[in-house]
Chains A and B, each alone.
Chain A
Amino acid sequence: MRELAIAFNTFRECIRDRILYNLLIFAILIIGLSGILSTLSIGEQVRIILNIGLAAIEIFGVMMAIFLGIGLVYKEIDRRTIYTILSKPIKRYQFLVGKFSGLLFTLLVNLIIMTAGLVGVVYLMGWHVNSTFFYCLWLIFMEFVLITSLALLFSCFSTPTLSAIFTLSFFVIGHLTEDIKFFGSRSENPFLQKASTILYYILPNLENFNIKALVIDTIVRGLYFEDVSAGVGLKLILFSTLYGLFYTAIIFLLAVIIFEKRDFK
């Protein structure tokens, strides 16, 4: 219950944040622009709308997760409101659970708004999307979850600026881990080979949540995700989700450990 109160408060705090609206407006603008851009193309209009739209949703969602997430804990410490909260009968981990779920709920709401915008543009252009579309959004949301946990982790011990840089770096590198592995495997230096393999497994592989190309192709061809690669598609969603949840859990627990160790006296 107490977590819920914190979560609700976090949600209220987040939706009052100006940065959220900046990002949301830009996201909607770009999604709208995708409709206009697509008219310049010969054929494949829906592909262009979906490509741009899903990219905008992912990028702006990640930016929301980062820029709201980095202040989650730090702001409370900075404004000293944390003392009043922690003096109440609430465990520290409950506080973090509340913060985390509050932000995730904010992100979910924004994801729904952006998705509604994208679906609207698609319909305006005389096309329609099928259920396949939502599998893609689901994995995009899993990426938000993971990024939020990272932002929360950094927010527990670092300033917002540094946290933003760290989290953004993780976002970038998370999409490049396969290149790290590739170059490492081609190196003749055994140390480099080992190091790149270890990095490949330790860093979050955000490409695991990226099925945009596959999904868009499926939609454009009028197929359903269930038809893709004889059931492999659904398994992929399942295991990617599990991977995201396990990884997020580890990061979240690390955040709890750090937060528990902090001295607020």
Chain B
Amino acid sequence: MRVLVVTILILIPPTFLTFNRVEALKTRIRVEGRGLFIPSSRFLKPASLGFDTMVADLYWLKTVQYIGDDFWFRKGYPQLFDLVNLVTDMDPRFEYAYEVGGIILSVYGGRVDESIRILEKGYRQRLGYWEIPFFLGFNYFYYLGDYRKAALYLTEASRLPRSPKYLPKLAAKLLAKAGDPETAIAFLTEVLKNMDDERMRKEIEERIKEVMVERDIQHLERAIKVYRERFGRPPEGLEDLVSKGIIDRIPPEPFGGYYYIDKETGEVKSSVKKERLKIYKKRVRR
């Protein structure tokens, strides 16, 4: 008996050693890179033998890890749509997956079309969560500049239980003053209220500041136009607008910089954000 136990003890180290060796060799052979293997739900659904919601949870855990991986963050989450699509195929009532998938795809991934596809898939399920049409509206408004559709989804969202009271007002504002940066700031502020994640909040806060810069620039350029009409020449600097009493003061730059007039083009610019925000145009990666 003792011999047997000793033999087993002797056998354990070589088992581990060969195990590690096999592991090392396998990683050398593997060529598929860092991509995830995501099975098709048409296969996985029957294969899960009725445990589809459990399999959905399992893939949801993988999705969360994927979202948390900085490598994929920098790559703009190329497989996120497939992951969320699989999770929501396996469990179509997985509201949180639609919502998080939809937000991350557009805000971080820059994959607005995929974000809309996921959110609309969730919307078709009629789960009764106002967040889904709300973020759909956000996508249409902020990335695609489709105010009419955005307002439509916001109105839909406002009819659902527990939706915030400001939604109908926001929808009306969208239809009336679509191109106004103030509308965008109002919308983004509401989006911010519904974000828990710190990284997401920072991202949205950044966007709000960008729109504020746009609003200030539009404001200043209107003032310059007035100045030009009154004095027949453009102002030397923005201070002229204040000293001649056209505006009360130069608005503070939200990123901590300042505004100035570009001598060559005559345009108002921010010292921090050199590029003018094309908020009402598509901002799609790829």
Which A residues are within 8 Å of any B CB, using their own CB? 182-183, 186, 201, 205, 208, 214, 228-229, 232-233, 235-236, 239-240, 242-243, 246-247, 249-250, 253-254, 256-257, 260
B7-34 vs A, Cβ < 8 Å mask (1 yes, 0 no):
1100110111011011101101100000
Q: Which residues in B have their C-beta under 8 angstroms from that of A182?
A: 65
Q: Which residues in B have their C-beta under 8 angstroms from that of A214?
A: 29
CB of B49 within 8 Å of the partner chain: no
Majority SS at the chain B contact face: helix
User: B25 and A205: CB pair below 8 A?
Assistant: no
Q: Which residues in B have their C-beta under 8 angstroms from that of A228?
A: 29
Which B residues are within 8 Å of any A CB, using their own CB? 1, 4-5, 7-8, 11-12, 14-16, 18-19, 21-23, 25-26, 28-29, 61, 65
CA distance A233 to B25 in the complex (A): 8
- Listed by A's residue number, 29 A-B pairs whose Cβ atoms lie within 8 Å are A182-B65, A183-B61, A201-B16, A201-B19, A205-B22, A208-B22, A208-B23, A214-B29, A229-B28, A232-B28, A233-B29, A235-B21, A235-B25, A236-B26, A239-B18, A239-B22, A240-B18, A242-B14, A243-B15, A243-B21, A246-B11, A246-B15, A247-B15, A249-B7, A249-B11, A250-B11, A250-B12, A256-B4, A257-B4
User: Please, which residue of chain A has its CB at the minimum distance from the CB of B64?
Assistant: A186
CA distance A30 to B19 in the complex (A): 33
Q: Which residues in B have their C-beta under 8 angstroms from that of A260?
A: 1, 4
Q: Which residues in A have their C-beta under 8 angstroms from that of B21?
A: 235, 239, 243
User: A242 and B65: CB pair below 8 A?
Assistant: no
User: Please, which residue of chain A has its CB at the minimum distance from the CB of B31?
Assistant: A229
User: Please, which residue of chain B has its CB at the minimum distance from the CB of A260?
Assistant: B1
Q: Which residues in B have their C-beta under 8 angstroms from that of A208?
A: 19, 22-23, 26
